[in-house]
Amino acid sequence: MPETALTDTAAAATDTTSMPAPDSVAAIVRQPVPKLPWSATCPEASAPSAPSDSIFRIEIATDWLAGMAGTQRPVRPGYDSGVLTLLLCSFLIVAMGFHRGARLWKSLIHDLTDIRRRSNAFDDRTTGETWVISAMILQSCIYTGLMIYALLGIQGEQQTGKPVFASVAAMTSIAIGLYLFRLCGYWVTGYAFTDHMGRLQWIRGFNASQIMLGCLLTLPSLIAIFYPDAAPAMLIIASVSYIAAESVFICKGFRIFYHHFESLLYFILYLCALEIIPVILAFYGAVSLYRLIT
């Protein structure tokens, strides 16, 4: 081996004064890093950048351990599983017996406009048609309940945790109760002031007007629950539809019951007792029930 190589190796082995002793590294005291001014608003700023920094920062700030508070995800009323189930069931009930659609629609138009006293082909109802008419009236009550739900202030995105289905079911129940009350009132009024044929025509006209209202409320109610921002415009359309359906039915009732000038007083009393006061009471009942649920 050359002499110069041996000399360099010996010098490297003996030159230990330039390297720090192991005890000198342990003797160095590391100063904690001060909390930065923006740590209060930025939790990520206080997170340790290296594992060795955690022992110095853990006693200074622990914001990074708590994380950030979460917010509830907004959910539209139409995405509620209970509301979707209610709509799906109503669609299926109507679809099961709608194979007689053409004859049924002709019969409904006849019930809504005709007041002739003689019998015709539209006076006879089969079991299937009665089933479909009942299902369509139920569907109309569901759409009415959805519009009442939108009318009571649910016009924005519904927050998670609110009883959406319970509110819609309660409003639908009020719509069904209003329909049954009016149906009983029409039966009693027709029994007192007209014959069997006139009473039958009047009640059938009422059912036809409710089915007509349900058809007119289909799109507005679905848009109102799936796109709550459009609820105010849909409520205007629903109000116009309700006025149109009620006007057609009231005109038919006027043609049935008006015989002379004195009967006009009874007709005005009928309007107040069965067309105005029950709707007002149902609305205030819906407001009270909605506040109780929510």
C-beta of residue 217 within 8 angstroms of C-beta of residue 143: yes
Instruction: Pick the closest to residue 166 from 293, 284, 80, 282 (CA basis).
Output: 293
Q: What would the pLDDT profile of 39-93 be if each residue is shown by its tens digit?
A: 444 555 555 555 555 555 545 555 555 666 666 666 677 788 888 888 888 888 7
Q: What would the pLDDT profile of 94-130 be if each residue is shown by its tens digit?
A: 776 666 666 777 788 888 887 776 555 555 666 667 7
Task: Give the pLDDT of residue 2.
Answer: 47
Question: Using 50, 70 and 90 to split pLDDT, how confident is the model at 158?
Answer: very low
Task: Give the pLDDT of residue 54.
Answer: 53
Q: Which of 73-77, 142-146, 207-211, 279-283 has the lowest mean pLDDT?
A: 73-77
Question: Which is more confidently placed, 225 or 9?
Answer: 225
Instruction: Pick the closest to residue 155 from 224, 223, 222 (CA basis).
Output: 224
Task: Give the pLDDT of residue 263.
Answer: 76
Q: What would the pLDDT profile of 230-281 be if each residue is shown by its tens digit?
A: 888 999 999 999 999 999 999 988 888 877 777 788 888 888 888 999 999 9
Give the burial class of 51: count Cβ atoms within 10 A of its Cβ; 0-12 exposed, 13-18 middle, 19 or more buried.
Answer: exposed
Residue 47, both tokens: 């997170």
Q: What would the pLDDT profile of 13-44 be if each residue is shown by its tens digit?
A: 444 444 444 444 455 555 555 555 544 445 55
Task: Give the pLDDT of residue 219.
Answer: 92
Sign of CA dihedral 194, 198, 199, 202: negative
Give the burial class of 287: count Cβ atoms within 10 A of its Cβ; 0-12 exposed, 13-18 middle, 19 or more buried.
Answer: middle
> Model's pTM, two decimal places?
0.71
Sign of CA dihedral 227, 228, 233, 237: positive
Three-state SS for the chain is: CCHHHHHHHHHHHHCCCCCCCHHHHHCCCCCCCCCCHHHHCCHHHHCCCCHHHHHHHCCCCCHHHHCCCCCCCEECHHHCHHHHHHHHHHHHHHHHCHHHHHHHHHHHHHHHHCCCCCCCHHHCCCHHHHHHHHHHHHHHHHHHHHHHHHHCCCCCCEECCCCHHHHHHHHHHHHHHHHHHHHHHHHHHHHHHCCHHHHHHHHHHHHHHHHHHHHHHHHHHHHHHHCHHHHHHHHHHHHHHHHHHHHHHHHHHHHHHCCCCCHHHHHHHHHHHHHHHHHHHHHHHHHHHHHHHC
Mean pLDDT of 198-213: 91
Mean pLDDT of 162-177: 89
Average pLDDT, the chain: 76
Contacts of 262 (CB under 8 A, 6+ apart): none
Share of the chain above pLDDT 70, in %: 65
The label of the residue with tokens 């015709």 reads 120
CA distance 113 to 134: 20
Q: Which of 102-111, 133-142, 210-219 has the lowest mean pLDDT?
A: 102-111
Decide if pLDDT at 209 tops 70.
yes
